[in-house]
Structure 1
């Protein structure tokens, strides 16, 4: 029987940091992306004292700190742990089992799914059977517009009406459920996956990685209670563009790196981290110039609204390419008119393509010069739409 341990789940957490090239990497779970600017300031202070001074947003709406000093046993300093705990963001249990995505934009026409996020988070922490789920296991709540449904997830609830929706698994099973049944149904499926994965060696991290025999059984117990699955398909939309959202502001964070200056300009109260390295800032549309001045991308036409990169040589032993510097040079080239960016560009240091966006994008792996990136963009631009989409899917 396989064990759920570091050999099958490399997702870093406070109690088990990852040793990267630039030091310890600690990832903090932020269910639904909901956090306050006060907590971000506390984390920024922790980063200034114990890490590289920045906060990094992940594609699952979480926060990570890099370049932390690790002891001989691979742990971070007790003072840093105490500082993290003092923020109130660290749960008492299930510290790595909390990647919960949720449609971030407010809407009077669509249901508010934030209560379901809170309900699920509480249910996860109350169930010891879920403590061994992999840290990269993703739960998702989509309000029907398809923004979150288009991302990578393992269990999804997508609203169809204010009181009902569909539950889906990454292996293709779907069931019609009432909204009040959503959390309980997702927890039951997660328990079943936790049980099935321990019968395989190595234990899979996601349900779609289960062997054929296990996959054919996934959801079988639930079908007895809910009946056969539905034929309803999941609606997959697109991520929201940066810019004003009513009185609020959806602001892009270049390379996902939040500086102290970017945090200091945030108003007091709740902000939402999206899975697209953005912040939804309440009432931020009233002073967009202040956010632009400290480095946020607030116009979908801005180069930084289209460019992303993996950590590259600074933090990863798999590559010698400084992808972050390459991304900055690409943005400079776009700003100077040397290249036109009409779709997303992701620069990867290796074939793993960490942090790559979903949907069509210009895929550039291990470039040695920004000219290589520009050539890839121009080649993509000259392709027809069908040919370009086929290239991205490979």
Structure 2
């Protein structure tokens, strides 16, 4: 039997202690109150549920509802004990099928899968199957909160997110198994895709030396032993290695034609902030559901073409961005002050002009989609997208702008900081 060997040039160091990534059962106590993270497998959420969650954010917290880089939602400013109320409401709406698996349900999927005809496979049924089987396995409740699954329908949009366990659909009704963002060369029939993913996740739990190992990339022997475990249970064939696509820098934005004659609208959400007004507009415009994306955006699928013009007006009036070349697209920020005690600056306020939020909409235009820009309140760079990113990092007396480890600018002049970041993101 051929043996596939995967290696990581610089495997990350093991962490001290278990992963404390927040959920809704165990929240993180930040400077501005409790932070609860709601997992939305595959990003698909009924529009009525989005509206309900926005209302709970106002009632139970400080009103802030944020999109994360894993297409999940988080609420901030929760009072002590508010998570108990939130948990019960999520359970009533079917959004928390298992309290034990609250933090384990990190699942990305191609947001337009099965709608625009571009993928090799509609992965939505696979996401539903994974979530059901994951929640039925007591063992997998022990997965760390940062462990990530992904289902790429073949277009290459989420395969580059470096998920711990992922599948990339191939044209021959098979899928490529990816571990820690690398192609294992193991090919499985579509019918075995979810089983293969679950076997790999179980093998990760068995093979990690202690709770300080949170990701597949951190395993001492790398991902290769997990491939052996999957092959031992399912067989599969070893194929020619495929090139795993790089992370899509901005995701879908604008109008997308669906194969059924209907239309989807993809909107970028500046700084990932879903205000109550934005949630109201999204729920009103949506046909039935919204699809959250890992680029801190939202897709509204299944719209009828005659309703498109009014939908665009309402979305742009709410500050959502429908132009992929807008300077607002791809700008993100960590929590910053005052919500985080470690932050050195109010990075969201400082980034808001670059994201177009201050004026309600972005101004100007770029010649082409640009690199993401991430504003960080400290060197931890929480929430930073993977891949080629322009970093704006707060220091004691200003900011440092970097790209690919190269210093672009350092100083306290905010206009100069924004200008340097804007120039760096369009360099080719």
TM superposition score normalised by structure 1:
0.87
Does residue 18 of the first structure (1) align with residue 28 of the second (2)? Answer: yes
1:7: Cα distance to partner? Answer: 3.3
For 1:209 and 1:47, the matched residues in 2 are separated by 35
Distance 1:209 1:242, change over 3 A: same
Does residue 254 of the first structure (1) align with residue 270 of the second (2)? Answer: yes
Corresponding residue of 2:66: 56
Corresponding residue of 2:389: 361
Q: Secondary structure at the match of 2:126?
A: helix
Corresponding residue of 1:343: 371
User: Where do 1:215-230 residues align within 5 Å?
Assistant: 215=223, 217-225=225-233, 226=235, 229-230=238-239
Conservation of the 8 A alpha-carbon contact between 2:326 and 2:364: no
Corresponding residue of 1:389: none
For 1:125 and 1:202, the matched residues in 2 are separated by 20
140-149 vs 46-55, which deviates more?
A: 46-55
Distance 1:41 1:337, change over 3 A: closer
Deviations 1:131-154 (A, max 9, x none): 100111111000111110111300
1:8: Cα distance to partner? Answer: 1.5
Distance 1:164 1:77, change over 3 A: closer
RMSD (Å), alpha carbons = 2.7
Distance 1:326 1:338, change over 3 A: farther
Moved over 6 A (4+): 336-341
Extract unaligned runs of 5+ from structure 2: 1-14, 258-262, 400-411
1:10: Cα distance to partner? Answer: 1.4
For 2:264 and 2:107, the matched residues in 1 are separated by 22
Does residue 97 of the first structure (1) align with residue 108 of the second (2)? Answer: no
Corresponding residue of 1:294: 318
Distance 1:210 1:322, change over 3 A: same
Q: Secondary structure at the match of 1:94?
A: helix
Corresponding residue of 2:418: 374
Deviations 1:245-278 (A, max 9, x none): 1211001111111111111112351110011111
For 1:141 and 1:205, the matched residues in 2 are separated by 20
Distance 1:83 1:336, change over 3 A: closer
For 2:365 and 2:45, the matched residues in 1 are separated by 39
For 2:55 and 2:48, the matched residues in 1 are separated by 11
1:293: Cα distance to partner? Answer: 0.3
User: Where do 1:1-394 residues align within 5 Å?
Assistant: 7-70=17-80, 75-76=81-82, 78-92=84-98, 93-105=100-112, 106-110=115-119, 111-161=121-171, 163-170=173-180, 172=182, 173-197=184-208, 200-212=209-221, 215=223, 217-225=225-233, 226=235, 229-237=238-246, 238=248, 239-246=250-257, 247-266=263-282, 267-282=286-301, 283=303, 285-286=308-309, 287-331=311-355, 342-366=370-394, 367=399, 368-377=412-421, 380=424, 385=428
The structure richer in helix per residue is 1
For 1:342 and 1:382, the matched residues in 2 are separated by 5
For 1:285 and 1:162, the matched residues in 2 are separated by 36
Q: Secondary structure at the match of 2:417?
A: helix
TM superposition score normalised by structure 2:
0.80
1:183: Cα distance to partner? Answer: 0.2
Corresponding residue of 2:260: none
For 1:24 and 1:87, the matched residues in 2 are separated by 22
Extract unaligned runs of 5+ from structure 1: 386-394
1:328: Cα distance to partner? Answer: 1.2
Conservation of the 8 A alpha-carbon contact between 1:113 and 1:141: yes
Across the two proteins, how many residue pairs are aligned to each other? 373
For 2:425 and 2:61, the matched residues in 1 are separated by 40
218-227 vs 108-117, which deviates more?
A: 218-227
